[in-house]
A and B are shown apart, each in its own frame.
Chain A
Amino acid sequence: GAGVSQSPSNKVTEKGKDVELRCDPISGHTALYWYRQSLGQGLEFLIYFQGNSAPDKSGLPSDRFSAERTGGSVSTLTIQRTQQEDSAVYLCASALYADQLEAFFGQGTRLTVV
């Protein structure tokens, strides 16, 4: 596609439910990143993919968070048993190569846990 696409753009979920957030990177981009933007925490790195593997998962805040990438393309970030503190905007970015010298960001998914 022309840009990084994320879906849904907005998601409201009840506390305790699981959610899946999707990211479609720019075609041909090998690197994919997830960041979280929340009030008080700013923009935080979550996980990075090179192809389908995730060399760096250090930013995932708990074991309720997981992510996968298939076919070197689409990535899904899953949050299990959501908590109110998970409310944030989840941003995905892709880059042609892993050095992220120019990463392109999607518009994000705004997650609200009620």
Chain B
Amino acid sequence: AQKVTQAQTEISVVEKEDVTLDCVYETRDTTYYLFWYKQPPSGELVFLIRRNSFDEQNEISGRYSWNFQKSTSSFNFTITASQVVDSAVYFCALLEYGNKLVFGAGTILRVKS
């Protein structure tokens, strides 16, 4: 069965610290997609990134970077120089056959000024 594990329930950091959110997934598919979403207090899920299983290149977008390692089935997300506005719940998700997103439990990130 497909599964996404976000072992960190909650992380608190002080502004300007770097923080890494962990994501480990399980799937028997050879072709799959992984996602990160941000859920701010307003409630909507904001798409951050999508990776397919054939592209293991790390990606950087501003202060955000993602480390995809198939060998360890991990897709970790790092925020560099965190800001208060980064405070949110972050979800890692796996696109399952049949077009369903399987979400991890989410990690609450609190960035204090």
Q: Which residues of A contact B (CB under 8 A)?
A: 3-4, 31, 33, 35, 42-43, 45, 48, 55-56, 58-59, 89, 91, 93, 98-108, 110
The residues of B that contact A100 with a CB separation of less than 8 Å are 95, 99, 101
> Pick the contact of A45 from B37, B42, B47, B101 — CB < 8 Å?
B101
Q: Is the pair A107, B42 in contact by a Cβ cutoff of 8 Å?
A: yes
Closest residue of B by beta carbon distance from A99: B99
CA distance A42 to B99 in the complex (A): 18
The residues of B that contact A42 with a CB separation of less than 8 Å are 103-106
CA distance A58 to B96 in the complex (A): 13
Q: Is the pair A101, B33 in contact by a Cβ cutoff of 8 Å?
A: yes
Q: How large is the interface on B (under 10, 10 to 19, 20 to 34, 35 or more residues)?
A: 20 to 34
The residues of B that contact A110 with a CB separation of less than 8 Å are 43
The residues of B that contact A98 with a CB separation of less than 8 Å are 99
A42-B106, A102-B50 given; A108·B99 CB < 8 A: no
Q: Is the pair A45, B100 in contact by a Cβ cutoff of 8 Å?
A: yes
Q: Which residues of B contact A (CB under 8 A)?
A: 33, 37, 42-47, 50, 91, 93, 95, 98-106
Q: Is the pair B47, A107 in contact by a Cβ cutoff of 8 Å?
A: no
Q: Is the pair B103, A43 in contact by a Cβ cutoff of 8 Å?
A: yes
Closest residue of A by beta carbon distance from B33: A101
Q: Is the pair B45, A105 in contact by a Cβ cutoff of 8 Å?
A: yes
CA distance A111 to B30 in the complex (A): 38
Q: 20 A–B contact pairs at CB < 8 A?
A: A4-B44, A33-B100, A33-B101, A42-B103, A42-B104, A42-B106, A43-B91, A48-B98, A48-B100, A56-B99, A58-B98, A99-B95, A100-B95, A100-B99, A100-B101, A101-B50, A103-B101, A105-B46, A107-B43, A107-B44
